[in-house]
Amino acid sequence: MTTQRRELGAYGESVAARHLQEQGLVVLDRNWRCADGEIDLVLRDGHDLVFCEVKTRRGGQFGPPAAAVTGAKVRRLRHLALRWLDESGVRHREIRFDVVEVLRQPGGRDRVTHIRSAF
């Protein structure tokens, strides 16, 4: 992955985290990594534990950012969530998988779309 793409992804994750916190969610973990991959954000939303994938794009020419969350990505995220739960020891919560789209807009105003229970 190029430095430019990595920077765009990190920017989008920061925008998404700030947006979700403004909506009352609490960030528990960011960029959690293990040998099998990475979870962008792990949050608490009331009694729900939320595993969130963030997709950031500069334009809409390739469709909405969430379109990049393929079946293989969903399977990987579910597996990673189980690993996170096992390693963190967090229990007794409802689990939800969300996607946040960050679409960069000319003039600096990003469009942020939070898709709850995306899969």
pLDDT tens-digit map of 96-115: 999 999 998 878 789 999 99
Residue ranges of the domains in the chain?
3-115
Looking up tokens 């909506």 gives 23
Instruction: Quickly name the fold that domain 3-115 has.
Output: Trna Endonuclease; Chain: A, domain 1 (3.40.1350)
Average pLDDT score over residue span 51-67: 88
Cα–Cα nearest to 26, from 43, 39, 41: 43
For the entire predicted model, the pTM comes to: 0.92
Contact 65, 54 (CB under 8 A): no
Rg of the Cα trace of the chain?
14
pLDDT of residue 93: 76
Beta strands 48-57 and 94-103 are parallel
